[in-house]
Structure 1
Amino acid sequence: MERYFDGNLDKLFSECHVINPSKKSRTRLMNTRSSAQDLPCQICYLNYPNTYFTGLECGHKFCMQCWGDYLTTKIIEEGMGQTISCPAHSCDILVDDNTVMRLITESKVKLKYQHLITNSFVECNRLLKWCPAPDCHHVVKVQYPDAKPVRCTCGRQFCFNCGENWHDPVKCKVCHN
């Protein structure tokens, strides 16, 4: 990736919506304020002590309650996982997994988030497929992504290429027409 961006690390991190870890964080500078001083949350506008705020490397800080509500909405209602960005207007810095897991308190939301992340990983990996059997939550892994029969640990055999029942000698395209 560095080669694609011609060694321009700032552009690389910007395109990936990640703060360059080698740059000094503004979040640390914000923490120098007195923790006894109450500050308004920029989402709910309620005043809280500085210790009740948390933020990302972009420096935007919000109260823990607003963070939890924001993340819960993104995960449960919008089905977002890896692409949750900072709640600040026009900030596209992504929220990392550790931050999400730290700020979410409800176990059902954590479970949904983990499912979304896992699903995203499986969908993006051409060597992995979810088993199409109803009520099966297993993933099948192959060495090469070919149109060939695979068998899940649940016993279901299917075509790895299209996910349908094995249909040899018929090609996937013909099978679905």
Structure 2
Amino acid sequence: MDLDVLVDESYFSALFDYDEVFPISDVNYASELHLQEALFSSLIASAAKINNHPQIQRSFTTVIKQEPVVKIENEPLEPSRRLCMICMDEKPSSDMFRGSVTCTHAYCTQCTIRYVANKIKENSAKIKCPDVDCTRSIEPYMCRDLIPKDVFERWEKILCESLISSWDKLYCPFKDCSSVMILDDVGGNNANVTQTECPSCHRMFCAQCKVAWHVGVGCEESQRYGNTKKKSSDEEDALLVQMATNKQWRRCPSCKFYVEKVDGCMHIKCRCGFQFCYGCGSVWASNHACQIRT
């Protein structure tokens, strides 16, 4: 604190300004001077106390130098309820879900769960936003805690398979397994490898014939004459074909796997990614109009 300023403003102004207007006597002047000296001594003592207490001094300075308060307008709050464009119901904002940080479309949790689960049933690896004009995809990690664990694990499997081209993958020939495997060094030194073990069911099969492993028999001989296991496999295949015919199953024109339509339209997307019509078996097109109803 500047004591000189205090002296200039308090002491001398009180001492000289007053008698410029009203002349005073010597007695009054002496009394007034004595009073001003007492005030000045008290002011100096108060300033010394403030200097000996930094916290008081900081508080004193803070009060003096406090900036005027600027009023900030409140930002608009998110509405408490929002409209889900799938079920067309108003839901609490806390129940709305966005599938991507870059997507602005939000849908209620229940509709999102059903939508994602249906897409996974269709073997869709990339699930886009439900909005028809949006090209953003739903991120798997954002709905991990929403959908059931077994459904999410199936989605993970589909995603892994989608990263492998059709030329580099092989399916286990055993019908109760059908696990996908990667063909290493396709067309290279390992192109003639036959005996292979499925990493899932740990059963042996021939990678060339795509049947159960024919022990002691070459591929050509096995295909020409067959053996006990192959005959058994052929019998099973015959039973499968008969069952597929009776139940009106369709065979994928690409990977030859049988597909059963439980419900929905005729548009089928196979696990291999090929799309075809379940009614006539032809390649699916946006303008396809099948006359066959199953």
TM-score after normalising by structure 2: 0.38
Instruction: Give the whole-Å Cα distance in 1 for the aligned partners of 2:119 and 2:192.
Output: 37
Instruction: Give the whole-Å Cα distance in 2 for the aligned partners of 1:163 and 1:109.
Output: 29
Bigger CA radius of gyration: 2
Corresponding letter in the other structure for 1:68:
I
Which residue of the partner structure matches residue 144 of structure 1? 186
**Cα offsets for 1:26-45 (capped at 9, x unmatched):** xxxxxx86356111212212
1:48 aligned residue (91, 97, 105): 91
Give the deviation of 1:87 after TM superposition: 0.4
Which residue of the partner structure matches residue 60 of structure 1? 105
**Cα offsets for 1:10-49 (capped at 9, x unmatched):** xxxxxxxxxxxxxxxxxxxxxx863561112122122222
Corresponding letter in the other structure for 2:92:
P
Gaps of 5+ in 2: 1-74, 198-202, 213-217, 222-294
Instruction: Give the whole-Å Cα distance in 2 for the aligned partners of 1:80 and 1:128.
Output: 18
Give the deviation of 1:155 after TM superposition: 1.6
Corresponding letter in the other structure for 1:79:
N
CA RMSD of aligned residues (A): 3.0
Count of matched residue pairs: 132
2:115 aligned residue (70, 84, 90): 70
Corresponding letter in the other structure for 2:105:
H
Instruction: Give the whole-Å Cα distance in 2 for the aligned partners of 1:150 and 1:140.
Output: 14
Which residue of the partner structure matches residue 170 of structure 2? 129
Distance 1:151 1:91, change over 3 A: same
Which residue of the partner structure matches residue 82 of structure 2? 39
Identity of aligned residues (%): 20
**Cα offsets for 1:110-137 (capped at 9, x unmatched):** 2332232233234x27444233333342
Instruction: Give the whole-Å Cα distance in 2 for the aligned partners of 1:130 and 1:96.
Output: 27
Which residue of the partner structure matches residue 22 of structure 1? none
Give the deviation of 1:88 after TM superposition: 1.0
Gaps of 5+ in 1: 1-31, 170-177
Instruction: Give the whole-Å Cα distance in 2 for the aligned partners of 1:138 and 1:152.
Output: 13
- In the TM superposition, 1:73-152 aligns within 5 A as 73-76=118-121, 78-82=122-126, 84-104=127-147, 106-122=148-164, 124=165, 126-136=167-177, 137=179, 139-146=181-188, 147-152=191-196
Retained in 1: the 8 A contact 2:161–2:180? no
Retained in 2: the 8 A contact 1:34–1:50? no
Instruction: Give the whole-Å Cα distance in 1 for the aligned partners of 2:146 and 2:86.
Output: 16
Which residue of the partner structure matches residue 17 of structure 2? none
Instruction: Give the whole-Å Cα distance in 1 for the aligned partners of 2:153 and 2:167.
Output: 24
TM-score after normalising by structure 1: 0.59
Distance 1:152 1:36, change over 3 A: same
Distance 1:115 1:148, change over 3 A: same
Retained in 1: the 8 A contact 2:205–2:211? no
Which residue of the partner structure matches residue 252 of structure 2? none
Give the deviation of 1:86 after TM superposition: 0.3
Distance 1:45 1:65, change over 3 A: same
Instruction: Give the whole-Å Cα distance in 1 for the aligned partners of 2:158 and 2:186.
Output: 25
1:157 partnered with 2:206: yes
Q: Secondary structure at the match of 1:152?
A: strand
